[in-house]
Amino acid sequence: MPPAPNDSDNGMTSTDEIDPPSSEEGGSRGSFSGGNAPLKKGPWTDAEDAILVEYVRKHGEGNWNAVQRHSGLSRCGKSCRLRWANHLRPDLRKGSFSPEEEKLIVELHAKMGNKWARMATSLPGRTDNEIKNYWNTRIKRCQRAGLPLYPPDISSQIMNEKQQNMNIDDFIMGDKQHNEPSYNIADILVDDIQSNQEVSNVSPYSSFCSSSSMANRGMGSHPDRMSPIPIDLYKQLRENDELLSDLGIPRIPKFNLFPYENSGKFSRSFNLGFPYEPDPDPGRHSHLHGNFSTFQSFQGTVKVELPSLQYPDNGNDSWPFFPETSPVLSGDAYLKSSPTASSQSEFLPRRNDELLESLVYGSQALSCNSRMQLYDKSLDAGNPSLYDVIRSPLHDPGSDNKWDANSSFIPLNSFASSVSNEFFPLTTGFTLCGTPPEHASSTMESSGGSYSSECLPSTSGNEFGGMLMENLSGFNVEKQAAANGGLLIPGTEEQYQYLSEDDVYIKHSLHDHTEDAPVFG
């Protein structure tokens, strides 16, 4: 709803701001209307609206820079376009969003992320700005209320749609129409893992990462489709899986990434028909020598972009979707903020790193879950397996969690985050120092810190390949050292204990005394 004019219809208010010339909007803002009148900013008046409406009625939409030239309106073309699009268009639908619209927005956002304009096309009469404002408000509201953003029903729906849309041929052969240089690493990784799983109940929040704006930015107009991944890239990822096996590291077991998705079998398997040959020469994997040259091309090729959460900076509790009071957390009592969690935000960029956020957010959930699960298991029956670690109660389809109709779900992508956060070492630049202690207790030196966010890129436009490579590299080092009895890399607040029996690491955080976390196995 347009703001009430703050003055009479004389077109200029006492608070009107006169814009100095600038180069914005194709130079239009630097120009002057008619008689060199400076461009005006601030709320539109009724008179200005009338002028603009009349102009559009006569000339139609478009060529907005001509408006000021031909109508005498002291507004830049961009401002005219925005005003028309957001307030003056005759087909605009005023008023607050209906419950149906709100639900649709949530669904659309789950599918396409912050593609406000595209979302607006599905909401007749609504503008992208409206939707964006609504979503930002929703984020804040959910954060305040401790509610997740996506309800499980929407998650399931998205997941089902994605399954239907999946086309293995497109994936393998590449979609020439959308063969863009950006790839959805979350899809890649999740699918890569899925290809090794007989059963994969995948969180739609794998599609949060994948189908949301992160994917869309890379994939353009087909958010729900699988990202076309070049074969060589896919091979690299497959090799990565092989690498783990080479190292004696168990492949990531199948697990339920999404607690509420217990029926959607992920039927697609990349192993079927994919011309992948097991690496005949494992020795060529440079990871065995401490670096991962196989990821060199990956790095710099895979650019991941992420959903914007636009969350406010509220100091300690900076995690937008995962407040301490979240029913998801408190209800199960599995997830709670930790010093580590809060420390993450200190390293996270404050803007639009959607994947990063989803990764860390998901990892936080998984991490906390895993910690508790492992902790319980450890108490009950000794060392846990990685499978135990992953299959946390939170992921139990039978969970009795109640979801608010407008709330949502724990993000997704537990897997992708788990890759970065749980199964791989979290730091880079490991240094082995001295002789490991006799009984597999290790510490590590970190070049960047001690937890997940530190190993994530700190800028937008993450190069996931680089991150993965670093992680893998650290993984390798640790793994090797652990195989020799454990690591001792001083200088960090965290220790990693290697449990040889199940090939699982237990993280002991010296600054987080509440629980031990399984790190990777």
Partner DNA sequence: AATGTGACCAACCGCAGTCAA
Partner DNA sequence: GTTGACTGCGGTTGGTCACAT
- Torsion (CA) 416, 422, 424, 426 in degrees, nearest 10: 110
**DSSP for 327-363, written as a single string:** HHHHHHT-----HHHHHHHHHS-SS--HHHHHHHHHH
Residues 11, 29, 233, 497: which binds DNA (CB under 7 A)? 29
Query: Should residue 181 be labelled a site residue for DNA when binding is judged by CB under 7 A?
Result: no
Binding mask 35-64 toward DNA (x if CB under 7 A, else -) reads -----xxxxx----------------xxxx
Query: Should residue 25 be labelled a site residue for DNA when binding is judged by CB under 7 A?
Result: yes
Query: Should residue 222 be labelled a site residue for DNA when binding is judged by CB under 7 A?
Result: no
Residues 33, 73, 81, 108: which binds DNA (CB under 7 A)? 81
**DSSP for 168-202, written as a single string:** HHHHHH--GGG--S---HHHHHHHHHHTT-S--B-
Query: Should residue 76 be labelled a site residue for DNA when binding is judged by CB under 7 A?
Result: yes
Which CB atom, from 16 or from 279, has the smaller least distance to DNA? 16
Binding mask 188-217 toward DNA (x if CB under 7 A, else -) reads -------------------------x----
Q: Which of 187, 137, 168, 189 is nearest to 273 (CA)?
A: 168
Report, in Å, the least distance between residue 481 CB and DNA: 39
Report, in Å, the least distance between residue 96 CB and DNA: 6
For residues 287 and 246, give the distance between their C-alpha atoms in angstroms, rounded to a whole number. Answer: 10
List Cα–Cα distances, 288 to 15, 293, 303, 423, 488, in angstroms. 67, 10, 26, 17, 20
For residues 135 and 310, give the distance between their C-alpha atoms in angstroms, rounded to a whole number. Answer: 9
Which CB atom, from 119 or from 154, has the smaller least distance to DNA? 119
Q: Which of 401, 337, 331 is nearest to 367 (CA)?
A: 337
Which CB atom, from 353 or from 503, has the smaller least distance to DNA? 353
User: Are the C-beta atoms of residues 255 and 387 closer than 8 Å to each other?
Assistant: yes
Binding mask 417-456 toward DNA (x if CB under 7 A, else -) reads ----------------------------------------
Would you state the structure tokens that stand for residue 302, as one six-digit string?
């895979």
Residues 284, 350, 511, 513: which binds DNA (CB under 7 A)? 350
Which CB atom, from 2 or from 339, has the smaller least distance to DNA? 2
Report, in Å, the least distance between residue 355 CB and DNA: 12
Q: Which of 145, 102, 141 is nearest to 123 (CA)?
A: 102
Query: Should residue 130 be labelled a site residue for DNA when binding is judged by CB under 7 A?
Result: yes
3-state secondary structure of 248: coil
Q: Which amino acid does the sequence have at 323?
A: P
Q: Where in 303-332 is the site for DNA (CB under 7 A)?
A: 308-310
Evaluated on CA atoms 409, 412, 414, 417, the torsion sign reads: negative
Which CB atom, from 181 or from 248, has the smaller least distance to DNA? 181
3-state secondary structure of 381: helix
Query: Should residue 89 be labelled a site residue for DNA when binding is judged by CB under 7 A?
Result: no
Query: Should residue 99 be labelled a site residue for DNA when binding is judged by CB under 7 A?
Result: no
User: Are the C-beta atoms of residues 393 and 370 closer than 8 Å to each other?
Assistant: no
Residues 75, 111, 235, 371: which binds DNA (CB under 7 A)? 75
Report, in Å, the least distance between residue 17 CB and DNA: 8
For residues 409 and 205, give the distance between their C-alpha atoms in angstroms, rounded to a whole number. Answer: 9
**DSSP for 17-47, written as a single string:** EEEPP-STTTTGGGS-BTTTBPEEESSPPHH
φ and ψ of 254, to 5 deg = -70, 145
Other Cβ atoms less than 10 A from the Cβ of 393: the count is 15
Residues binding DNA: number (CB under 7 A): 63
Which CB atom, from 126 or from 285, has the smaller least distance to DNA? 126
Q: Where in 2-21 is the site for DNA (CB under 7 A)?
A: 2-4, 6, 15, 19
Would you state the structure tokens that stand for residue 280, as one six-digit string?
């005949």
Q: Which stretch binds DNA (CB under 7 A): 75-83, 243-251, 359-367, 503-511?
A: 75-83
Q: Which stretch binds DNA (CB under 7 A): 108-116, 186-194, 228-236, 503-511?
A: 108-116
Residues 140, 253, 376, 433: which binds DNA (CB under 7 A)? 140
Q: Which residues bind DNA (CB under 7 A)?
A: 1-4, 6, 15, 19, 22, 24-29, 40-44, 61-66, 75-79, 81-83, 85-87, 96, 113-118, 120, 128-130, 132-134, 136-137, 140-141, 144, 213, 220, 308-310, 350-352
